[in-house]
């Protein structure tokens, strides 16, 4: 299996170089059999009925990838938590659960966005529970797209303000939460994004691989090629 894992592109109209970099990656990696997107693909997602130009362009790009025979798996992040089944259908992909078990490099592993592992950030976990609730999302979908876009901007501003007042370690994963999840699922490998701290961590139970966030200059991916895994970064400037 030749598979790529990416996360935390935070696509928006304000980051055209990242969108261009994604297009270049898709072109460059045409032989890949599977593309796994582990959350925060979009900086914000106001619902699967979003008809903004960026949403339409990106869905068409992914649909073409799917039509070319590449499997696409997507999970929600803390920015695009309203991604739904219609989005997955539109791109010919599959929407993953918050935590998904799959075979990677010949062994059982878990993939997830990673925000659920940041259990020391109690305020965020409370917010996450709220916005992931079906009732809250149903209430949001009753609003117009314009109202939802305005709310997304407000939530983003509140998030930036809250993060600026938190210690860095609070916003990282809790090691006990990682160990507990791996034990519950009996896996030796866990792959996630969210923290913007790309690295491969050796654990008593195995390995935790953290994907990197994309910037105007650099993108990140984890490549599975047969039994090998490699965490790679690449320039978006050309």
Question: What's the pLDDT band for 38 if we cut at 50, 70, 90?
Answer: very high
**CA-CA-CA-CA torsion sign (167, 170, 173, 174):** positive
CA distances from 156 to 160, 207, 212, 235 (A): 6, 32, 20, 27
Look-up of token digits 């984890």: 222
Look-up of token digits 């970099």: 21
pLDDT in tens, 56-96: 999 999 999 999 999 999 999 999 999 999 999 999 999 99
**pLDDT of 139:** 95
**Residue with more model confidence, 10 or 205:** 10
Q: Is CATH 3.90.1150.10 the right assignment for the domain spanning 2-235?
A: no
pLDDT in tens, 91-133: 999 999 999 999 999 999 999 999 999 999 999 999 999 999 9
pTM given for the model: 0.95
Question: What does residue 20 show for φ and ψ, rounded to 5 degrees?
Answer: -65, -40
pLDDT in tens, 157-181: 877 777 766 777 777 999 999 999 9
Domain ranges across the chain: 2-235
């Amino acid at each position: 299996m030749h598979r790529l894992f990416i996360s935390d592109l935070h696509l928006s109209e304000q980051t055209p170089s990242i969108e261009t970099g994604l297009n270049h990656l898709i072109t460059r990696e045409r032989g890949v059999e599977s593309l796994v997107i582990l959350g925060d693909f979009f900086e914000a997602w106001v619902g699967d009925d979003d008809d903004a130009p960026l949403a339409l362009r990106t869905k068409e790009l992914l649909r073409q990838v799917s039509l070319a025979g590449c499997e696409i798996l997507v999970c929600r992040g803390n920015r695009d938590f309203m991604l739904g089944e219609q989005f997955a259908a539109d791109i010919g992909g599959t929407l993953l659960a918050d935590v998904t078990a799959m075979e990677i490099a010949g062994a059982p592993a878990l993939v997830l966005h990673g925000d659920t592992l940041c259990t020391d950030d109690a305020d965020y976990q409370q917010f996450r529970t709220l916005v992931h609730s079906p009732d809250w999302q149903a209430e949001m979908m009753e609003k117009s797209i314009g109202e939802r876009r305005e709310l997304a901007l407000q939530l983003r501003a509140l998030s930036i303000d809250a993060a600026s007042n938190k210690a860095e370690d609070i916003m990282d994963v809790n090691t006990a939460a990682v160990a507990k999840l791996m034990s519950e699922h009996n896996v030796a490998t866990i792959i996630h994004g969210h923290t913007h701290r790309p690295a491969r961590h050796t654990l008593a139970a195995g390995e935790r691989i953290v994907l990197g966030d994309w910037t105007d200059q650099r993108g990140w991916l984890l490549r599975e090629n047969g039994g090998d895994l490699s965490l790679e970064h690449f320039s978006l400037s050309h």
